[in-house]
C-alpha cells in the first residue's frame, strides 16, 4: 500500500471513528475497544466521451480512487450532438442503471446489456430513451451471423447513442462488477 493510499485509508478510518463518537458518545465511552471497519469504497462506472472521435471513447470502472479497468467504447455515429435522435452520443450526466443482464432479449439489443434510465439531452429538446451499454451478440452472448449480432471490428463501435463495447470487453465488465459490486449509475462526462 503506497503512502497516499495509507493516508486516505487513515483519513477514512478517522472520519468513521469521529462520526461514531459524535453520534454515540455514551456507547463509545462504554466500549473503549470499539473497532471501526474502513468503509467500502464506492464503485463507479464512467463513460468519458472523446470529442475528437466519439467511437473511440472510454468506459472505466473505479472503486474509490482505484482504477480497475478501462475499455474502448463508442457512442453515436460520430456526431457530438447529444440531442440528435438515433445518431448523437449519450448526454452528460448520471444515468441510473435500471436493468443489468447477460441475457437481454430486446428486438435490437441482445445478450450482455445494461439498460439506462431515460434522460433529457443537454438542450432539453429531446428525451433520450432506450439507452444501453451493450455490444453485438446473440441473447446467449455468442456471435451471430447477421451484422446486428456479429462484431466485425472498429466500425462496430458506432451506435444509435448507446455506449457500445467489444463483446469480449462487455463480458469482462460484467465479471468485474459482479465481483466488486455494481454501481447504481453510469456517470457520463466529456
Contact 87, 108 (CB under 8 A): no
- Percent of the chain surpassing pLDDT 70: 79
The count of residues in the chain is: 190
Q: Supply the pLDDT for residue 7.
A: 38
**30, pLDDT greater than 80:** no
Summarised one tens digit per residue, pLDDT across range 139-157 is 999 999 999 999 999 999 9
Contact 36, 16 (CB under 8 A): yes
Summarised one tens digit per residue, pLDDT across range 170-185 is 999 999 999 999 999 9
Residue 74 sits at φ, ψ, to 5 deg, of: -120, 165
**83, pLDDT greater than 70:** yes
Average pLDDT over residues 95-105: 98
Residues 6+ apart with CB under 8 A from 70: 58, 59, 60, 61
Residue 12 sits at φ, ψ, to 5 deg, of: -65, -45
Give the per-residue SS3 of the chain: CCHHHHHHHHHHHHHHHHHHHHHCHHHHHHCCCCCCCCCCCCEEEEEECCCCCHHHEEEEEEECCEEEEEEEEEECCCECCCCCCCCECCCCEEEEEEEEEEEEECCCCEEEEEEECCEECCCCCCEECCCEEECCCCCCCCCCCCHHHCCCCHHHHCCCCCEEECHHHHHHHHHHHHHHCCCCEEEEEC
Q: Supply the pLDDT for residue 40.
A: 81
In whole numbers, what is the pLDDT of the chain averaged over residues? 85
Top pLDDT among 36 and 97 is at 97
Please choose, from the candidates 128, 92, 90, 95, the residue with its C-alpha nearest in 3D space to the C-alpha of residue 114: 95
Amino acid at each position: 500500500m503506497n503512502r497516499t493510499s495509507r493516508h486516505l485509508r487513515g483519513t477514512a478510518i478517522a472520519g468513521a471513528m469521529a462520526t461514531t463518537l459524535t453520534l454515540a458518545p455514551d456507547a463509545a465511552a462504554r466500549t473503549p475497544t470499539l473497532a471501526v471497519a474502513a468503509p467500502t469504497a464506492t464503485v463507479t462506472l464512467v463513460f468519458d466521451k472523446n470529442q475528437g472521435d466519439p467511437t473511440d471513447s472510454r468506459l472505466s470502472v473505479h472503486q474509490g480512487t482505484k482504477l480497475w479497468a478501462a475499455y474502448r467504447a463508442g457512442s453515436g455515429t460520430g456526431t457530438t450532438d447529444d440531442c440528435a435522435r438515433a445518431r448523437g452520443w449519450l448526454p452528460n450526466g448520471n444515468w441510473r442503471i435500471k436493468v443489468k443482464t447477460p441475457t437481454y432479449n430486446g428486438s435490437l439489443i441482445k445478450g450482455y446489456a445494461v439498460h439506462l434510465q431515460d434522460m433529457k439531452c443537454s438542450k432539453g429538446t429531446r428525451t433520450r430513451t432506450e439507452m444501453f451499454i451493450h455490444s453485438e451478440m446473440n441473447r446467449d452472448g455468442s456471435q451471430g451471423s447477421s451484422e446486428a449480432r456479429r462484431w466485425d471490428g472498429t466500425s462496430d463501435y458506432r451506435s444509435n447513442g448507446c455506449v457500445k463495447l467489444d463483446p469480449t470487453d462487455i463480458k469482462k465488465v460484467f465479471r468485474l462488477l459482479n465481483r466488486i459490486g455494481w454501481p447504481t449509475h453510469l456517470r457520463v462526462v466529456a
